Structure 1
Amino acid sequence: MTQSAAAPLPTPKERRRLREAQSLTQAQLAARLGVTRETVRAWESGRTSPGGRKRETYAKLLTSPGPAPALVKRPKAQVSRAERVQEPEQRTQPEKRRQPESQSAEQPLTRAPAVAFDALYTHAAPLLVRQTYLLSGRRALARESVERAFQLAWQRWPEVAVDPDPVGWVRAAAYEYAMSPWHRLRPAHRHPDAPPADAEDRKLLDVLQSLPPVYRRTLLLYDWVGLDLPETAAETEASTPAAANRILHAREAVAEQLPELAVPEQLHRRLTELAGAEKLDAPKATFVRDVGEKRTRFWTRAAIVVTTLIVGATALTVRAAPTHYVPVPAPGAPVSGVPALTGPDRLTPQDLQLRGQLRAKLSGGPGRLAPVAE
């Protein structure tokens, strides 16, 4: 049996225009397609594209001005093995598992830059600190990672403000900073943090830290943050099957040591309890902006000073360098101007004869002269 060709889709920008032309929000479109709002936003940004029956339904909905066609759900027995490999499981998460970050992410950040940044920080920073703590296992590093990520976002605010998912942009930057291997060289990270007070929390945190970093990140994004599989794969820079395999292996490793967390819903609940048990307060938005601006000014001035020193050294070298080229004499060419060799001349035969006579006459005399009175 041959498979039909994939339905053609408009460009990501045209997808959004067609949706808005039908007066549909991303949430309404997601509800009709049976996906999440983050998935629709990823389709319209071009980060991912739908496949299979969702692609056909999505294409018909964009090109049809009438009511949206219903998404036909096949029985579980008719789902192909390839689709089961791509999705670890067909899960229907309750709304409380979804972060409220998508609500503010959809709103265009067209207000004053400082006001929009403060609103984004107030909304996303507290939860991002807890997410980064579960990823790194260190409280101070979690705060520092989120702070640096938001400082980077403030430096690149024109880019972040128009991003379809600004919270995802900051989260990716915080995760990359927290997972940097250079932290091992810092003196503050030579000793582990104090473990959680509860024994069950300590065991769960130890199990998470025993996972490879990329497996740990993928598991947290999918089972706790609540991203879809394509979005998780895109944020971790992996293919969808690779992300699915990482989730499955991470779940197996956790269930091997904590059998009661074999169910994803139980794992999500325990991760939420573990993150909420720690006092991880983020600094104020104004403080983050001020520190980021000071750091930017410092590095800008340092770059100016270094550039000035390089220019000055170059100018001094050009000034002190010779203005003309002096050719080196060729090998074997006579060199003029060298003074003659100076020193005592050789004795002539007469000089040698005189020296012999003097030595012969003195040989018969006294060995030592003595004064004599007259």
Structure 2
Amino acid sequence: MTQSPAPLPPPKLRRHLREAASLTHDQVAERVGVARETVRAWESGRTTPRGRRREAYAKLLASLTEAAMVTNTQETARPPQVTVYLDNDPHHPETLEVPEAPEVSTVPEVPEVPEVPGAPGGRPTGTTLTPAQAFDALYAFCAPALVRQAYLLSGRRELARESVERAFQVAWERWPEVAVDRDPAGWVRATAYEYALSPWHRFRPRYRHPEPPPSDAADRALLDVLLTLPTPYRRTLLLYDGVGLDLPETAAETEASTPAAANRLLHAREAVAARLPELASPSALHRRLAEVASAERLRAAEPTTVRAGSEQRARFWTRAAIAFTVAIIGATALTVRTAPTRYEPAVPPGETVQGVPPRSAPGTLSDAEMDLRAKLRSGIQHGPQRLIPLAE
């Protein structure tokens, strides 16, 4: 009789269980005996484990499920805490507190919308939150890592914080769209990256002068190498070797084909290895990226401040749109009121009349003119009598 394969939870729940247990892809791969990319493929649903690997993976997920159930049962009285890394880097953890929800489930299920997304695209808790609470949880979970990533992209601390705040302001304006997105963290990350890499910042007065470099010489060297890379190469390298996305996800986020993303990644690694030979290994490069980003201790603003800024910005543009519309309506009404109601032909341009003698200047009369005047005066006396009114 053929033995039925071990049951496995859905791919999204597999990732949720791993993140709830604070395990990285490398740790899971070491326990199961596979490569890191294989674990990513299992969690994304692109491949399915078979044979002994499936059994080992199923046992690991079952133990994580039991641990999650026990943890949720013991911690229902206090807000859950999530350990966040620079996207799965175990050397730089950061503990964040997720806002308390009205009800806490004891089963690690995928929460209903609005959800508390993980990084990237995961869900750290199984709670149903209000839109504001879900946004605050997403911000608390993703903003610290996004600020560090934006710093590696732009090399500017203030621009990194501004990029993350602007991305989350846009996310709050479009929260119904972001809340139902398959990867809310990826949505915000792409928006922050686009803002941080915008070429228009060079024309802003506050960003015309370079910022002080990192204090450590090794950090300065790596940051200089990153900033010399073309923008698509730098973004691809950070997503793959820094954030930890796989190649198809990196290609989709950079809006490139998979072969193009692979070529960008290889060229970026070669450029980094040419100037820093000790970072030729992808694992060493991943570790150094996390160390450089974490050394600055960048802090993001409070989520309530970001939401308030987003709402204020939305009110400003709404009022500006209303004022512009009123101005157009007023100008149209004035034009209709003052416009002529009938056709008025235009005045033709003047024309020169030929044959008219020029007007002579006044002066002494000639003999002929004197004779003519005398003749005219003498002829009037013999003409008809003039009518002169008489006074009564």
User: Normalising TM by the smaller chain, what interval?
Assistant: 0.5 to 0.7
- Identify if the C-alpha distance between structure 1 residues 273 and 152 changes in structure 2 by more than 3 Å, giving closer, same or farther: same
Amino acid across the alignment from 1:159: E
Offset from partner CA, 1:127-165 (integer Å, 9 cap, x none): 100000001000000000000000000000000000111
User: How far, CA to CA, are the matches of 1:278 and 1:38 in structure 2?
Assistant: 33
User: How far, CA to CA, are the matches of 2:343 and 2:52 in structure 1?
Assistant: 83
- Identify if the C-alpha distance between structure 1 residues 204 and 98 changes in structure 2 by more than 3 Å, giving closer, same or farther: closer
Which is bigger in relative contact order (C-alpha 8 A, separation at least 6)? 1
1:205 aligns with 2:223: yes
Partner of 1:24: 10
Partner of 2:73: none
Per the normalisation by structure 2, the TM-score is 0.64
How far 1:24 sits from its partner (Å)? 2.8
Counterpart of 2:137 in 1: which secondary structure? helix
Check conservation: 1:105, 1:167, Cα contact below 8 A: no
Partner of 2:173: 155
- Identify if the C-alpha distance between structure 1 residues 312 and 252 changes in structure 2 by more than 3 Å, giving closer, same or farther: same
Amino acid across the alignment from 1:231: E
Check conservation: 1:135, 1:216, Cα contact below 8 A: yes
Amino acid across the alignment from 2:187: W
User: How far, CA to CA, are the matches of 1:94 and 1:281 in structure 2?
Assistant: 19
Amino acid across the alignment from 1:297: R
User: How far, CA to CA, are the matches of 2:91 and 2:240 in structure 1?
Assistant: 11
Check conservation: 2:237, 2:268, Cα contact below 8 A: yes
Partner of 1:307: 325
User: How far, CA to CA, are the matches of 1:264 and 1:309 in structure 2?
Assistant: 58
Partner of 1:293: 311
- Identify if the C-alpha distance between structure 1 residues 103 and 304 changes in structure 2 by more than 3 Å, giving closer, same or farther: closer
How far 1:36 sits from its partner (Å)? 4.5
User: How far, CA to CA, are the matches of 1:37 and 1:106 in structure 2?
Assistant: 17
1:241 aligns with 2:227: no
Check conservation: 2:11, 2:43, Cα contact below 8 A: no
User: How far, CA to CA, are the matches of 1:184 and 1:245 in structure 2?
Assistant: 28
Counterpart of 1:101 in 2: which secondary structure? coil
- Identify if the C-alpha distance between structure 1 residues 39 and 126 changes in structure 2 by more than 3 Å, giving closer, same or farther: farther
Partner of 2:281: 263
User: How far, CA to CA, are the matches of 2:307 and 2:132 in structure 1?
Assistant: 8
Offset from partner CA, 1:332-366 (integer Å, 9 cap, x none): 99xxxxxxx999899787315689xxxxxxxxxxx
Check conservation: 1:97, 1:226, Cα contact below 8 A: no
Counterpart of 1:280 in 2: which secondary structure? coil
Partner of 2:244: 226
Provide the identity percentage.
59
Give the alignment partner of residue 133 of structure 1, picking from 151, 175, 182. 151
Amino acid across the alignment from 1:197: S
Per the normalisation by structure 1, the TM-score is 0.67
Gaps of 5+ in 2: 1-6, 19-27, 54-86, 94-117, 352-357, 374-392
- Identify if the C-alpha distance between structure 1 residues 146 and 237 changes in structure 2 by more than 3 Å, giving closer, same or farther: same
Check conservation: 1:39, 1:231, Cα contact below 8 A: no
Counterpart of 1:192 in 2: which secondary structure? coil
User: How far, CA to CA, are the matches of 2:336 and 2:196 in structure 1?
Assistant: 46
- Identify if the C-alpha distance between structure 1 residues 132 and 331 changes in structure 2 by more than 3 Å, giving closer, same or farther: closer
How far 1:310 sits from its partner (Å)? 1.1
Partner of 2:343: 325
- Identify if the C-alpha distance between structure 1 residues 281 and 329 changes in structure 2 by more than 3 Å, giving closer, same or farther: closer
User: How far, CA to CA, are the matches of 2:121 and 2:187 in structure 1?
Assistant: 15
Check conservation: 1:98, 1:226, Cα contact below 8 A: no
Amino acid across the alignment from 2:12: Q
Check conservation: 1:97, 1:224, Cα contact below 8 A: no
Check conservation: 2:247, 2:261, Cα contact below 8 A: yes
1:182 aligns with 2:168: no
Offset from partner CA, 1:267-305 (integer Å, 9 cap, x none): 111111101110210000000000110011011101111
Check conservation: 1:147, 1:288, Cα contact below 8 A: yes
